[in-house]
Amino acid sequence: MGHLVLFVVALFNLKSASSELFQSSDPCFCHSLGELHSCECTEKSVDVFNNVHIHGLLTKLLKKDCLRYYKTDMEKDCPFWQSNRYCTSRECGIENCDDEVPIAFKYTKYQVQDAYRSSRCDESNEIDPLDKTITAGQRRKLEKWTEHDERLDVYCDVEDESSEKLHYVDLVRNPERYTGYKGNSAQRVWKCIYEENCFKPDPKFDKEYLIYPNIRGMCSEKRMFYRIISGLHTSISISIAANSYKPAPGGMGEGEWFRNVDMFKYRFDPKYTNNEGPERLKNLYFVFLLEMRALQKISPYLHHTLFYTGNDEEDMDTMDDIKRLVDKIDAFGSTFSESKLFRGTGLKTRILKEEFRLHFLNISRIMDCVDCDKCRLWGKLQTHGIGTALKILFADLPSAQSGTSPKKRFQLQRNDVVALFNSIGRFSSSIREVAEFQKLLQSS
């Protein structure tokens, strides 16, 4: 355990005072090629930024109606093997809450847009008004065109929000925590993710991209892919360790929830992980910074209709809080430079980008193979959130100041936004829990 204590203490004693965090013009510029500890954006500065400046605001936002309800198909079959969907713990289960969501959630996105506009806009020309109606057939054609365009940029298995198979789940009432799900089924899922979907170095294809002449020599895009999966695995592991369950003695009565220091130690102590534990923790920070950058980039496109609940007062408060969050991210500085990736327009670059997209899309589908309902819910949501972040980062979006229009309108559904914000929330909570485990390790 001494190795982990020393590492975690070092993690939080890197030079970066909280008072200096928002003063530098570019305090946190980490391109994807670099290790986190070699950038100005150190673990300590990320820790202060998250724990002091944004975690509380994120927690408040994620309790709001517009972000706490996620719509998903929990009965979708596993596309890779026969799934039992059986878990011995009552903590595995979830309940749908379709009757509890705001009435506005039951509108189509077009109805929401119309309702929002009609409540705030007056008709400017009463003599010969613009006819904005379209027939049902025309709308179906438009939706098919949109679906075709969106499929080209999809990094995760995005479900059709209008499908009757999808139901709302209250994420606040179904938190990510220990459920007792383990054994061969859980191991099979992670093995499939790591071994069947990871990129492998290809000397013929990668020779122009290789950075290091050793077994770890993969192009930056492929190394980023691995770090994303590792960071997701780390975040989930920390959530489970931070919210473990101890049954009551003799199985009588309610048990208790506690932080499982031993579980944290066995997942991240260099002694027990063949020195991989510290890298896993760095990958946690890496994905958090990636999602922060995505939120920063998409902020000009976060319009009111994506958060519309029908409660004008709460909706205005939500937009104010989102603006505060984005302002804090802007003040923190650049956290990720996606322009370093997939450079050029050549065939190899296009093939690499498509391969990257399809690999992550496949991983999002593997989450339907998780037997535990609650674990499957959070696995689907977080891969959806990361996939949304990747879609944003690699989309050709004009800057807010450019005054130009994109080649095609950038599309985000309400569910995409819910997934992105909640995925950021999970990584934010995991980073905060690392600090809590540090205290427990130092006192033991």
Annotated binding site for FAD: 177, 179, 190, 230, 233, 267
User: Would you state the pLDDT for residue 388?
Assistant: 94
Which residues participate in the annotated binding site? 177, 179, 190, 230, 233, 267
Given this model, what pLDDT does residue 4 score? 59
Which pLDDT does position 327 carry in this prediction? 94
The reported pLDDT for the residue numbered 200 is: 54
Q: Which of 92, 156, 369, 372 is catalytic?
A: 372
Q: Mean pLDDT for each 10-residue chunk of the chain (444 residues)?
A: 54 36 34 40 80 97 95 91 70 70 67 47 43 54 51 69 82 91 85 70 42 45 84 96 90 87 94 89 92 92 84 93 94 74 73 81 92 93 95 70 48 91 98 94 85
Query: Cα–Cα distance between 27 and 17 in angstroms, integer?
Result: 11
Calpha distance 288→426 (Å, rounded): 9
* Amino acid of residue 360: F
Q: What is the pTM of this model?
A: 0.79
CA distance 210 to 201: 9
Per-residue pLDDT, 8: 55
44 in Cβ contact with 14 (< 8 Å): yes
pLDDT at 164: 78
CA 387/CA 141 separation, integer angstroms: 26
- Active-site residue, 156 included: no
Length of the chain: 444
Distance of alpha carbon 151 from alpha carbon 163, whole angstroms: 17
The confidence score (pLDDT) of residue 226 equals: 86
Q: What is the token pair recorded at 418? A: 């819910």
The candidate with the shortest Cα–Cα distance to 380, out of 166, 149, 90, 60, is 166
Contacts of 181 (CB under 8 A, 6+ apart): 87, 89, 92, 370, 371, 372, 375
Q: Is 375 a catalytic residue?
A: yes
Calpha distance 256→45 (Å, rounded) = 33
| Domain definitions of the chain by residue range | 2-7+27-121+157-443
